[in-house]
Amino acid sequence: MNHTGNKPFKCSECEKCYKRRADLKLHQMNHTGDKPFKCSKCDKTFCRKAHLQRHEMSHMGEKPFKCSECDKSFIWKAHLQLHEMNHRGEKPFKCSECDKSFSQKSNLKLHTMGHMGDKPFKCSECDRSFIQKSDLQKHQMIHTGHKPFKCPECGKCFRQKGSLHLHKMNHTGEKPYKCSECDKFFGQKSDLQKHKMIHMGHKPFKCSECSKSFNRKAHLQLHEMNHTGEKPFKCSECGKCFRWKKCLDVHKMVHTGDKPFKCSQCEKCFRWKQSLQLHKCHHVCFVWHF
């Protein structure tokens, strides 16, 4: 069968075909979300044992494939090749529905599922649905507050490793991507591209309710909450709901009595940074009046 090119094993979910039954079973894990191989260091799970073994190299610090453009290193050669596309701006896989482009075919397939409305993984807390189980698990961290990735410099924690990596740039000051219009610098090429939309006036994300447009999808999603009234972040103490997790965190201080912002002049404490800044004006005004 391998020599004839025949692929008799067909996936019932997406009709993709394989030469071997074992390959079909591995593929079907993408639909079921089944990842039986678990890392003992960080609890990350994988469909294949080989992928787990490769992942374990990251804990040992072994990343043999290095980018010549930015010195970023990777465990997999394929990941380096995909990363290098970011420097070249190469995105060969284009969506026929909305013209959005991707560097990987697999990302395009996941994206097209969004157009078809196929999102089998549903959050039990807020009824939001996702294409992949891993995306659901990341989303659920919003409700649980779980942030496993901690910055060694300041102790700030993040839900995703990529977010921690970007945060670290604040400490190093690393911003390699420069805007040719206004000389503003960015840590990520994607942020530079989004920023350039401001100069072009390009706002591709349009609200279906009021036709207001945005240059970022995340900004559109936040705006849409004004129409839906969605407030997914609920206080466990009093049941009050909030649109933003940051607002919930601040609200919780009412119950805990926590006031983290302290005046260096009189040691008075405040719940909000803005309140501290306003308070400091009293010291300045008092000194000036005196």
Q: What is the pLDDT of residues 20-64, one digit of tens each?
A: 888 888 888 777 777 888 888 887 888 778 888 878 877 777 788
Alpha carbons 7 and 286: distance in angstroms, whole number = 82
In a domain? residue 176? no
- The angle at the Cα of 89, spanning 86 to 90, to the nearest 5 degrees, equals 95
What percent of the chain is predicted at pLDDT more than 70?
A: 96
177, 188 in Cβ contact below 8 A? yes
pLDDT: is 78 or 289 the higher one?
78
Alpha carbons 72 and 206: distance in angstroms, whole number = 35
> What pLDDT does 99 receive?
74
In a domain? residue 252? yes
Q: Which domain holds residue 274?
A: 233-289
> What pLDDT does 110 receive?
78
In a domain? residue 4? no
The arithmetic mean of pLDDT across residues 131-160, rounded, is 85
> What pLDDT does 286 receive?
53
Instruction: Give the pair of three-digit tokens for residue 25.
Output: 């079973």
> What pLDDT does 290 receive?
46
The arithmetic mean of pLDDT across residues 149-177, rounded, is 83
In a domain? residue 158? no
pLDDT-derived band at 5, boundaries 50, 70, 90? low
192, 183 in Cβ contact below 8 A? no
pLDDT-derived band at 218, boundaries 50, 70, 90? confident
Tally of domains within the chain:
1
pLDDT at 182 over 50: yes
In a domain? residue 251? yes
pTM: 0.35
- CATH number, domain containing residue 250: 3.30.160.60
187, 166 in Cβ contact below 8 A? yes
pLDDT-derived band at 83, boundaries 50, 70, 90? confident
For the chain, give the DSSP string: -TTTT---EE-TTT--EESSHHHHHHHHHHHHT---EE-TTT--EESSHHHHHHHHHHHHT---EE-TTT--EESSHHHHHHHHHHHHT---EE-TTT--EESSHHHHHHHHHHHHT---EE-TTT--EESSHHHHHHHHHHHH----EE-TTT--EESSHHHHHHHHHHHHT---EE-TTT--EESSHHHHHHHHHHHHT---EE-TTT--EESSHHHHHHHHHHHH----EE-TTT--EESSHHHHHHHHHHHH----EE-TTT--EESSHHHHHHHHHHHHHHHHH-
> What pLDDT does 188 receive?
75
pLDDT at 238 over 90: yes
Alpha carbons 216 and 214: distance in angstroms, whole number = 5
In a domain? residue 17? no
In a domain? residue 276? yes
pLDDT-derived band at 285, boundaries 50, 70, 90? low
Query: What phi and psi, each to the nearest 5 degrees, are found at residue 184?
Result: -75, 145
In a domain? residue 237? yes
Instruction: Give the pair of three-digit tokens for residue 6.
Output: 């025949």
Q: Tell me the average pLDDT of the chain.
A: 81
The arithmetic mean of pLDDT across residues 223-248, rounded, is 86
